[in-house]
Amino acid sequence: MNRFVDVAQGWLATCCWIGLTGLILPVPESSGVMAPKPSAAPPSNVLFIAIDDLNDWVGTLDTHPAARTPVLDRLAERGTTFLNAHCQAPLCNPSRSSVLLGLRPSTTGIYGLQPAMRAVKAWENHPTILQWFARHGYHTLAAGKVDHARFRGGSNPAGEVHETGPWGGPGEVFPATKHAGETPMGNNPWMDWGAHPHDETKKGDYQVAEWAAERLQTLPPGQPFFMALGFFLPHVPTYVTPEQLAAVPTEGVLPPVLADDRVDVPDFAWYLHWRLPEPRLRWMREHGQLQPYVRAYLASTTWIDGQIGRVLEALASAGFAENTLVVVWGDNGMHFGEKGVTGKNTLWERSTRVPLLVAGPGVARGGRVAVPVELLDLYPTLADLAGLQEDLPPLEGITLRPQLEDATTPRQRPALTTANPGNHAVRSERYRYIRYADGAEEFYDHLTDPHEWRNLAGDPAVAALMVDHRRWLPTRDAPHVADHGGRTLEYDPDTGIVKWEGEVVPAGSPVPE
């Protein structure tokens, strides 16, 4: 029997890598927007753009034949693209908390959708990257989904930034009924995708871009700025207009899927995405929804690319293009049927690899960095490029300045992604090693198996390689913080008891569909 089905010609997943172990860190004393410190060097502005659930389907990464992102492609030409960038958690809140605090989930104990980072006493005073720049005289602004919850609705608790704009989100574009129909595991109203006529100015992301463009024209003169924008799409609900959907091909858009892709995957892997609103591959196929979902995702990615273009045009017209560092990143990857699932919450390549582009002063043009890097590296990198690296708070990333100056510069460590305590993926240049909380393992050779279809764990030929990769696992897994929730997994190695979102999963339970 041929195991390889639905394989799109010419698709090869690019290798990705992820970073290192955590530390027990002291907490700085102050919170909120800090008093300015003088900076010796002329400062560069920062435009910091996060895109929700954007995987590596970006034109410049050449990973999907129908990906159309001309704005990001032009940004890549005038800056540096990281080909093997990875998130520290395959989920919004822990990923964004890690970026903003500069710390790993295995250090912070933030693994789920709740709580917000400032609700955790240990981190209520740790300066975010925005606060660090504010301390050094920057005017800080945030709009859209920058972190997971703090700036929604224009709120600015504890003075996190100087100004906030609209939260964004889906906006007022919902159809009368869901395009996808009733979806499994709760029929979440946001679990939908498709095309219908609507006014794009009602979309939250349009309003975020509009606010940013207007503020760029009226920023305080003579003061550097750090503007953070969070775009919601292509997160579900993924709504586009019929014209936008028509621009996406109907054929050749589905990713490669292996018929029995989980036959050599440990059963424990299911617990990472046990009961979620994202449908399984089987449901998507039975209801004819996989192609509509993929096409809507691609169309909305192109639309978001256009919103970024509006912001970059405003940046240029305001005279800031030459002295602004522009950073674009996705908070986690996405599955579209690979390993039998859609959505995120896994430790495989599809869920961890993200786009990361940097352009501006001190950044080589047209650079393409093949070594593994982490979103965790952004905090120390931007501080370094802005000359603000002195007396930084404890951070766990490593500056990317050497790679931004010369894309061939090597790095000495792989990348690390964590999905709840005890579950980690280590990505070296050639291999991916996964270890689950119960001790089960996976090992993939990306040189010969770019889609991670053959788990080599247990093969004596790779035993020494697995030992080498294990040494990069965190030396300490912080337990879940108090009041955690939203896609959280707990495992007791002494009893073997598994809890999903606080509820015990009886041994032998069938996988929820």
What residues are labeled active site? 92, 148
Question: What is the Cα 388 distance to its own chain's centre?
Answer: 25
CA atoms of 175 and 202, how far apart (whole Å) = 13
Question: What is the Cα 165 distance to its own chain's centre?
Answer: 22
398: CB partners within 8 A, 6+ apart: 19, 377, 380, 411, 413
Q: Which helix (H) or strand (E) holds 317?
A: helix 290-317
Tell me the CA distances in angstroms from 434 to 41, 98, 180, 419, 440, one per residue in order. 43, 20, 33, 11, 8
Judging by beta carbons within 10 Å of its beta carbon (0-12, 13-18, 19+), is residue 410 exposed, middle or buried? exposed
SS (H, E, C) 80-124: EEECCEECCCCCHHHHHHHHHHCCCHHHHCCCCCECCHHHCHHHC
130: CB partners within 8 A, 6+ apart: 100, 140, 142, 160, 161, 226, 228
Judging by beta carbons within 10 Å of its beta carbon (0-12, 13-18, 19+), is residue 442 exposed, middle or buried? buried
Could you tell me the maximum CA-CA distance found in the chain, to the nearest angstrom?
Answer: 68
With CA atoms as reference, report the closest residue to 395 among 174, 103, 119, 136: 103
